[in-house]
């Protein structure tokens, strides 16, 4: 037996599995909203690239840490649900201890980087956000009842505030507009997915809205939130962040979201719900792209 041949395999680290703990697609959207907020917080061309890089990396590390902690907390329900049973912890690719250490290292690195390379305010807000998602929401609010997504939405909306504070170094009302957009967007986004995956959530005993109140009620709630989201999406114009380019795009995107939510009321298929879920991601991404374009292209 060749010990040298076996040794590397015995100590190999499953890096791909650890990367999957980070939920890179979700984190990418989180980081994108934070980056847009950074660029909006100062006149075009006045955000130092070193600050932008440090804040982006710090917020990305914090998001990856929160995702990894979420994997640890949800490992039992992930093993029950079809779409998640192949994740690193239920599949045995990563141990609970390894995932916990990984999440802790990422979170610690994020806070140190943000404190020393960005500003203490951003570091403190990031810590509260991390605790809010990884502990308060995942451990408690998720199980509190069918409004769990609404109650936990603040953690998902926080990166916009973090990005703004990273550049401005202070709380400003304009950042609240970005926060509220993501906060009101979160329920229809997740509820559309929950409608399609309601049987899996029921099997895992997670009290999601379609499990507790039914599919029809959830669809009406999705429509109500998309209606509320339209005026909320116009707050950047009201508070002087954006102008006509963003206004036109936000109206078109918002009406498109409302129309899709309305059609979903009369469509009894999981595929239709997943289409609304997919559009919600396109909606938020496009909205923040418009914020950025308006900021750099429109002449005021």
pLDDT per residue as tens digits for the range 106-133: 999 999 999 999 999 999 999 999 999 9
Q: What total of structural domains would you count in the chain?
A: 2
User: Residue 70: pLDDT above 70?
Assistant: yes
Q: How confident is the model at residue 294 (pLDDT cuts 50, 70, 90)?
A: very high
- Give yes or no: residues 270 and 220 share one domain: yes
- Give yes or no: residues 24 and 77 share one domain: yes
* pTM of the shown model: 0.91
- Give yes or no: residues 65 and 159 share one domain: yes
Percent of the chain scoring above 70 in pLDDT? 95
- The range of the structural domain enclosing residue 295 comes to 174-300
- Give yes or no: residues 178 and 286 share one domain: yes
Domain edge (last residue) among 134, 154, 171: 171
Residue by residue, DSSP assigns 97-146 as HHHHHHHHHHHHHHHHHHHHHT-HHHHHHHHHHHHIIIIIIIIIGGGT-T
Domain edge (last residue) among 141, 171, 201: 171
Which range is least confidently modeled, 54-63, 76-85, 106-115, 127-136?
Answer: 76-85
Which range is least confidently modeled, 81-95, 186-200, 242-256?
Answer: 81-95
Give per-residue pLDDT as tens, 129-144. Answer: 999 998 899 888 889 8
Q: How confident is the model at residue 3 (pLDDT cuts 50, 70, 90)?
A: very low
Q: How far apart are CA 144 and CA 26, in angstroms?
A: 24
- Give yes or no: residues 245 and 299 share one domain: yes
User: Residue 167: pLDDT above 90?
Assistant: yes
The answer to whether position 234 is within a domain reads yes
Q: How far apart are CA 257 and CA 276, in angstroms?
A: 8
Q: How far apart are CA 271 and CA 73, in angstroms?
A: 29
The answer to whether position 228 is within a domain reads yes
């Amino acid at each position: 037996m060749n010990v040298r041949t076996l040794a590397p395999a015995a100590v190999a680290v499953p890096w791909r599995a650890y990367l999957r703990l980070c939920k890179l697609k979700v984190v990418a959207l989180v980081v994108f909203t934070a980056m847009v907020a950074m660029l909006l917080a100062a006149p075009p061309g006045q955000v130092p690239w070193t600050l932008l890089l440090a804040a982006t990396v710090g917020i990305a590390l914090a998001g990856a840490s929160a995702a990894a902690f979420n994997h640890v907390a949800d490992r039992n329900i992930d093993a029950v649900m079809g779409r998640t049973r192949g994740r690193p912890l239920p599949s045995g690719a990563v141990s609970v201890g390894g995932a916990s250490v990984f999440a802790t290292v990422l979170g610690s690195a994020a806070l140190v980087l943000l404190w020393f390379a960005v500003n203490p305010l951003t570091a403190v807000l990031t810590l509260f956000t991390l605790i809010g998602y990884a502990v308060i929401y995942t451990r408690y609010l998720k199980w509190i009842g069918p409004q769990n997504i609404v109650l936990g939405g603040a953690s998902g909306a926080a990166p916009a505030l973090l990005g703004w504070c990273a550049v401005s170094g202070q709380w400003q009302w304009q950042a609240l507009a970005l926060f509220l957009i993501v906060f009101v967007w979160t329920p229809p986004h997740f509820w559309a997915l929950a409608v399609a995956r309601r049987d899996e959530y029921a099997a895992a005993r997670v009290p999601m809205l379609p499990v507790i109140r039914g599919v029809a009620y959830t669809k009406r709630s999705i429509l109500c939130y998309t209606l509320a989201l339209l005026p909320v999406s116009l707050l950047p114009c009201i508070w002087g962040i954006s102008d006509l380019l963003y206004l036109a795009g936000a109206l078109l995107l918002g009406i498109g979201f409302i129309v899709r939510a309305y059609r979903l009321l009369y469509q009894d298929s999981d595929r239709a719900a997943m289409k609304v879920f997919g559009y919600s991601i396109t909606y938020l991404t496009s909205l923040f792209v418009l914020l950025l374009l308006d900021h750099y292209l429109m002449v005021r």
